[in-house]
Structures are given as C-alpha cells and as structure tokens.
C-alpha cells in the first residue's frame, strides 16, 4: 500500500493485477503514471509527509471564531467606556483577564479565561492570523484533538509564566502564549521526519511565523499596551516539552500521535473551566462597573479612592487587609479626620503577630518608616514596609525622605507585587511635579 501523508491510501488489489507476460517494473511504471502523487509517500522511507495545505484546519477556524465572539462580548459587556474602541483594563479584569492579586487570591480560572481574551482589534487580528497559520502547519499532522490540547496546555503554561514574571499592576490577556507554543511544538516535531528537506521546510514555516509572533510588529504604545514576552516564553517551553513527549511514543508507522482521547480530555477540561468561569464572572460583574480604587488614587481623587477601596474590600475574594491599607492611605492624603478610628478598626481584623498589622501602626503615627522596616521579616515584607513608609512620608509632606524609599522599593520589590508598580508611579509623579515647578 502506498500512502500520501496520513489521509490518503492508494492501493492496487492483487486480484486486479494480471502478471502474465508482464514484469514487475512495467507494472510499477504503469501504476505510477496513473498515480504520480504516490511518489510523495515514498520520499519518507517509512516517515510521514507534511500535512497537505488543502486540509482544512477546522479546529483552528473554530478557535478563531471563538476568539472573535469573546472579543465582541468584551466590547458588548464593557464595565466602563471603551478606550479608542478597545476594552479598558477595568473591563479586562472584570471579564477574566489575568491579574496576579486575584489569581493568588483563589481566582485560578483566570489562567484559562485570559488566554481567550484580547486587548484590541489589532491584537485579535494578529493572533488570529498566526493561529490560522499554526493550524495549516500542525493540525493536519497531529489531528484536531491534539491540536486543541496543545493550544490549551501552552496557553495556560504561558499564563503561569506571566503570573510570576510580570508586575502585579498588569492585567494580561491574549492567546499568544498558546500560539507561540504551537509553533515551538511544530519545530520540535519536525524532527519526526527522516527527510531533511521536509524537516527544513517545516522548521522554516514555523520560524517565519514564530518570530513575528514574538516581536512587537503590531503594537499600540500610545494606548499603554505592551508585549507579554513571559507568556510567549512559557508557552514555547510547554510546547517544546509536550512535543518531545509526543515524539517518544509516536512511531513513523503511525499516521498521528497516540493517546488522542487523552488529548480530547485535556481540551475538554480547558473548555469546561472557561465555561464554568462564567459563574464567578457574573457574580462580580456589577462590582467592577464601579471605578477601581487604584485608578482614583493615582489620579489624586483620594476621597473617591477611599470610598472605592471600601467597596472593593467587600467584594468576594477581596484582599481585605490591603484594601483597608490603601483606604487608610487615601484618607491620609485627603486629611480625613476619621483616619485614626478607621485604621484602628481595620487593624483589629488582624492579630498582632500577622503581617501587615504593623503597617497600620505606621499610619496611626505609632511607628516611623525606619522602625517599620526593622519589623519586616524577609524581602517581601521589607518591600512593603519600604513602600508604605514612603507613602507615610509623602502624606506628611516629607518628599526628600520619601524619594530614596521609593527608589529602594523599586529595587527590592518582586515583580509580582503591586507595590513595585505603585512605587514607580509615585516616583514618576514626583519627578513630573519637580520638573513643572
């Protein structure tokens, strides 16, 4: 039996061959003249040819349609006015974007939902084009179930990398981690082919899309968008590892990788998590329709910020202690006479041995910024003590004392801490005020 790729089987039934007075070579020449494309199957000498470009990547089309539908939902159900035709950060956070504080507080389903969302039409179109190319290259080779499973695993892997490598102030969305992972998978799987020509062709096709997918060819710097390279790296690593695992159990005699049913289970779990996330999203949707306390705080509207942080502390899954801290800070900037009482009530929710109990002492005037740093244990607490000490100095008008503390916080705070982004914002504000004076 002669095969072309993994789809078409061409055969000559023995009963239909009359060998009388005819040599085998002539029979072969006659057959090959009638079926010239069968030569493609012989090139591999037991391997498999590349998937035909005529094969329709239906799974890719389905994913693209889903991404378009979800983007339309982002615009339809925006919690505040769209910015230049694109969903705002508040909308992205409300509808399932990857935001580190919320995920670490139990909303792990965002690792799935964020991969199906996009920040702008250009973002969506770029990823859709790359996903279509990935489907043409890979879907016919591994099959639809494995294609969907690989996308799901790489996408989640990318979000996990983004979770631990991007600042806590960033809301991350996009399918690029999964897409980059698909191309990394294709590069590794190219070694499944014995033919160096076919291997090189597959690698060239993958790299020609992989590089543009990683580089910021489509960017919107004026809209505050940036490329999440950590998600790309995470997706690529997961894709390469999974490809190696596939190759270890995929013989060249098999049309496609084994364990397609297991791949279907992975893809199914991904889909169920995405669907199930609609429940918590719907429960908190109304709360996100109000402005974020951080937005009001960094715009200098401290009375509004205090009110909004109070509302945020009452939301499901809220980090109450830190919402209270930011509320007390906002009250300090607003010179609210109720600060002392509110700080005492917020501190009473904690035990003296727990962090951030001492930070409330700072804002009540019972600790200096330096004394607070002495109470910090480990770099994480030192980061917070340094940042909030700088804020207390700013509230008191001690700008010269606050600046070195902000610089120190920037140098020691982990990238996943919101205090890092906040320190950077405060320092930029001070520099801008100094330049304008």
Residue 437: the pLDDT is 55
CATH architecture of the region 58-284: Up-down Bundle (1.20)
The ranges of the chain annotated as CATH 1.20.1540.10 are 58-284
Q: For 265-314, write each residue's pLDDT tens digit.
A: 999 999 999 999 999 999 888 777 666 788 789 888 999 999 989 988 88
Handedness of CA 340, 345, 350, 355 (dihedral sign): negative
Q: Kindly state the tokens that stand for 397.
A: 């008008």
The ranges of the chain annotated as CATH 1.25.40.10 are 292-436
Q: Report the range of poorest mean pLDDT among 26-40, 98-112, 127-141, 388-402.
A: 26-40
Q: Does domain 292-436 have CATH number 1.25.40.10?
A: yes
Give whichever of 34-43, 129-138, 201-210, 342-351 has the largest mean pLDDT.
342-351
Residue 216: the pLDDT is 47
Q: Kindly tell me if the per-residue pLDDT of 128 is higher than 80.
A: yes
Q: What is the mean pLDDT of the chain?
A: 81
Q: Is 266 helix (H, G, I), strand (E, B) or coil?
A: helix
Angle (nearest 5°) at CA 84 between 82 and 89: 50
Neighbours of 15 (CB within 10 A): 6
Residue 390: the pLDDT is 96
Q: Kindly state the tokens that stand for 158.
A: 């990318």
Residue among 156, 175, 143 at smallest CA distance from 59: 143
- pTM for the full predicted model: 0.63
Task: Quickly state the pLDDT bin for 20 (edges 50, 70, 90).
Answer: very low
Residue 241: the pLDDT is 95
b/e 124-156 (16+ beta carbons within 10 angstroms → b): bebbbbbbbbbbbbbbbbbbbbbbbbbbbbbbb
């Amino acid at each position: 039996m002669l095969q072309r790729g993994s789809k078409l089987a061409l055969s000559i039934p023995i009963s239909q061959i009359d060998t009388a007075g005819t040599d085998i070579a002539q029979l072969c020449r006659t057959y090959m003249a009638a079926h010239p494309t069968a030569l493609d199957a012989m090139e591999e000498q037991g391997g498999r040819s590349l998937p035909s470009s005529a094969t329709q990547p239906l799974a890719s089309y389905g994913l693209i349609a889903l991404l378009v539908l979800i983007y339309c939902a982002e615009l339809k159900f925006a919690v505040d006015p769209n910015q230049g035709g694109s969903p705002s950060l508040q909308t992205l956070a409300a509808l399932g974007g990857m935001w580190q504080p919320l995920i670490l507080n139990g909303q792990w389903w965002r690792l799935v939902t964020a991969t199906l969302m996009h920040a702008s039409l250009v973002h969506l179109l770029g990823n859709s084009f790359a996903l279509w190319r990935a489907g043409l290259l890979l879907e016919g080779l591994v099959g639809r179930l494995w294609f969907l499973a690989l996308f799901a695993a790489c996408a989640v892997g990318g979000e996990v990398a983004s979770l631990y490598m991007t600042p806590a102030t960033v809301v991350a969305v996009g399918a690029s981690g999964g897409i980059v992972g698909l191309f990394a998978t294709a590069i590794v799987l190219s070694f499944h082919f014995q033919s160096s020509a076919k291997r090189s062709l597959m690698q060239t096709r993958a790299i020609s899309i992989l590089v543009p997918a990683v580089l910021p060819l489509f960017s919107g710097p004026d809209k505050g968008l940036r490329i999440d390279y950590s998600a790309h790296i995470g997706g690529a690593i997961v894709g390469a590892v999974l490809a190696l695992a596939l190759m270890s159990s995929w013989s060249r005699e098999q049309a496609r990788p084994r364990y397609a049913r297991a791949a279907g289970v992975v893809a199914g779990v991904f889909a169920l998590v995405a669907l199930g996330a609609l429940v918590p999203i719907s429960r908190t949707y109304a709360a996100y329709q109000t402005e974020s306390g951080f937005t009001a705080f960094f715009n200098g509207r401290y009375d509004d910020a205090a009110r909004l942080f109070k509302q945020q502390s009452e939301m499901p899954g809220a980090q109450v202690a830190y919402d209270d801290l930011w509320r007390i800070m906002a009250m300090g900037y607003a010179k609210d006479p109720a600060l002392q009482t509110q700080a005492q009530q917020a501190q009473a929710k904690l035990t003296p041995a727990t962090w951030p109990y001492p930070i409330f002492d700072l804002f009540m005037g019972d600790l200096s910024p330096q004394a607070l740093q002495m109470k910090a244990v480990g770099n994480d607490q030192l980061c917070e003590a340094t940042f909030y000490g700088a804020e207390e100095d700013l509230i008191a008008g001690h700008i010269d004392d606050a600046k070195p503390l902000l610089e120190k916080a920037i140098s020691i705070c982990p990238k996943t801490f919101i205090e890092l982004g906040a320190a950077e914002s405060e320092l930029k504000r001070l520099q801008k005020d100094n330049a304008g004076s």
